[in-house]
Structure 1
Amino acid sequence: MKVLVCGRGQLGAELARTCPDSVELVHLGRDALDIADAGQVDRVVAELKPAAIINAAAYTAVDKAETDADAARAGNEVGPANLARAAANNGSYLLHISTDFVFDGTANTPYLPDAPVAPLGVYGQTKLAGEVAIAESGLSHWAILRTAWVFSALGNNFVKTILRLAADRPKLTIIADQIGSPTCAKHLAKTCWLAVNHQLQGIHHCTCDGVASWYDFAMAIQELGAARGLLSGTCDIAPIRTEDYPTPARRPHYSVLSNASLREQLPEAPSVYWRKALAEMLDELANR
């Protein structure tokens, strides 16, 4: 089965690394395929004729999006719409990756896929628009996986940032009133391949199990990183409130996503507690 993977970020890299032997992988970054370019998307998909497309490409600069809305819209709304149209024209299945930022974070129980959406900023608004574009495209076979707080041994992410800062500074202040589920890109990638193989349909959520604040996450990164020799010592990490660290874009205070519908449709999908996934990721870094 030929599968086109768009995007070379953390998830794209893990999709390439976990690709099943039965798949003929075509992995294209923006230099080879700009999904916001409708003509290019049409040409590439028509030429490749993939059985499936996994869209892991996106504009992810949450704060920058507030002043760079056109670029965010191109990557998060126009691009998915182009892929959906091309997939429909060529009979391809489309799996699209979305985000917890489509919610406003006012809930106090895990968000179901059909929970009301209310993005707080441009990034979430454009990601939601991309979801709508796919759902209304007329494409017969598609699925959307919303995820959150993604980390990996590959690429740049919160884990690597904390390791770097904890090694250089005597003290860090980390937000403690935003709650979510840190998610390992490798496990997300494995779920994507299962979704493609089983032709998963509709909108579902995919995160690691368990919840944490950014403060909890940072403390675990330092603890587990030090135990693996990735830090020569530890620094003082102090909890702060969101209002103590203002950013251009508002973040949801609660962005825990329910994986229930995904478990029902793909019971064999990986289920791993976020701290265990973090330990595995740090083992990989240490073994390098």
Structure 2
Amino acid sequence: MTRYLITGAAGMLGQDLQKALTGREVTALRRADLDVTDQEAVLAAVAGHDVVINAAAYTKVDDAESHEDEAYAINATGTENLARAAKQHRARLVTVSTDYVFDGNGTAPYEEDAPRDPINAYGRTKAAGEELALAAHPDGTYVVRTAWLYGAGGPNFAKTMLRLAASHETVGVVDDQRGQPTWTGDLAECIVALVDSDAPAGIYHGTNSGEATWYEFAKAVFSQAGLNPDRVTRTDSSQFVRPAPRPAYSVLGHRAWRDVGLEPMRAWQDALADAARDGVLEQHDNPESGR
């Protein structure tokens, strides 16, 4: 029987990974259970497992601008530690990365082999984590880039919109950033399917299909919650200046899935409808969530 280890198991994706692996032999380690920056602890934790799924990450994008060393320790060094341990114990590693490894200046979906060119500290640390893991365990590392995550197990944009709807008549949302809203439930199933398929190691893009702006996503969230989507008003990024610059265009291509005979994830609108039916948009916030 395949033995799985999940790091960052208390986060939004970590919780859905545990659901996706129900009935299998799983060790689920929270941040408090395993410090991925501790090389010896990582080596010991990986022993006895066949697949390691790394959902541990420093995801505070704005804070990373002034705490890049801390973010690097978790997102880069921690990922490298897991890759080295996986290689030593002959396990496969799936590490979750981000659309923020790209500059966001594109106009067509970023392919898996597009050059990394991050524009903020968080993106730099995640890009470094990809490179270090692939170098340390090239034949056994799967990098799954994702984006715009929402799920039941943590704070996220969709829940924020509904919380604001309870106290504001209208909610202003930017319409000049484009990406792919992605349900962690779908992403978890996609990661398990990738591992089960014995597809070759490498980079895959784990996002729901299609694309939207944050404004379009917010309107869809309102609609799914039975609220009037016209309460969402259009604004732009100049109204929300934050420490870390955001990519304007974060749409990821899904060629790698088809190349190995797997179907990319379904349309984001279909995922959101199912997520809403499952109660995912209800408020049950958990501080350990991730991108």
Does residue 39 in structure 1 map to residue 33 in structure 2?
no
Alignment match, 1:95: 94
- Tell me the matched-pair count: 279
Alignment match, 1:225: 225
**SS of 1:97 mapped into structure 2:** strand
Q: Say which is worse superposed, 119-128 or 271-280, in terms of deviation.
A: 271-280
- Structure 1 residues 19-68: Cα deviation after superposition (integer angstroms, max 9, x where no partner): 153x301110111111111121112223xx10110001111110111111
TM-score, scaled to structure 1: 0.92
- Does the aligned pair in 2 maintain the 1:179–1:211 contact within 8 Å? yes
* Aligned CA distance change for structure 1 residues 75 and 237 (closer, same or farther; 3 Å): same
Aligned runs of 1:1-288 on 2, under 5 Å? 1-7=2-8, 8-21=10-23, 23-46=24-47, 49-200=48-199, 201-226=201-226, 236-268=231-263, 271-285=265-279
Q: CA RMSD in A?
A: 1.7
**SS of 2:45 mapped into structure 1:** helix
Give percent identity, aligned residues only: 38
- Structure 1 residues 120-141: Cα deviation after superposition (integer angstroms, max 9, x where no partner): 1100000000001011114531
Name the aligned partner's letter for residue 168 of structure 2: R
Long gaps (5+) in structure 2: 283-291
Alignment match, 2:289: none
- Does the aligned pair in 2 maintain the 1:58–1:76 contact within 8 Å? yes
* Aligned CA distance change for structure 1 residues 193 and 234 (closer, same or farther; 3 Å): closer
- Does the aligned pair in 2 maintain the 1:176–1:214 contact within 8 Å? yes
Name the aligned partner's letter for residue 209 of structure 1: S
**SS of 2:136 mapped into structure 1:** coil
Name the aligned partner's letter for residue 277 of structure 2: D
- Does the aligned pair in 1 maintain the 2:80–2:136 contact within 8 Å? yes
1:235 Cα shift? 7.1
Q: Distance in 2 between matches of 1:152 and 1:215?
A: 19
Q: Distance in 2 between matches of 1:130 and 1:70?
A: 13
- Does the aligned pair in 2 maintain the 1:153–1:282 contact within 8 Å? no
**SS of 1:285 mapped into structure 2:** coil
- Does the aligned pair in 2 maintain the 1:6–1:12 contact within 8 Å? yes
**SS of 1:159 mapped into structure 2:** helix
Q: Distance in 2 between matches of 1:253 and 1:15?
A: 29
Q: Distance in 2 between matches of 1:218 and 1:138?
A: 39
Name the aligned partner's letter for residue 175 of structure 1: V
Q: Say which is worse superposed, 178-187 or 198-207, in terms of deviation.
A: 198-207
Name the aligned partner's letter for residue 237 of structure 2: T
- Does the aligned pair in 1 maintain the 2:151–2:281 contact within 8 Å? no
Name the aligned partner's letter for residue 12 of structure 1: G
- Does the aligned pair in 2 maintain the 1:167–1:235 contact within 8 Å? no
Tell me which stretches of 4 or more aligned residues in structure 1 moved more than 4 Å.
Answer: none
Name the aligned partner's letter for residue 190 of structure 2: T
1:266 Cα shift? 4.4
Long gaps (5+) in structure 1: none
* Aligned CA distance change for structure 1 residues 138 and 274 (closer, same or farther; 3 Å): closer
1:287 Cα shift? 10
**SS of 2:143 mapped into structure 1:** strand
Q: Distance in 1 between matches of 2:19 and 2:55?
A: 14
1:155 Cα shift? 1.5
1:281 Cα shift? 1.1
1:282 Cα shift? 1.2
Name the aligned partner's letter for residue 225 of structure 1: A
TM-score, scaled to structure 2: 0.91
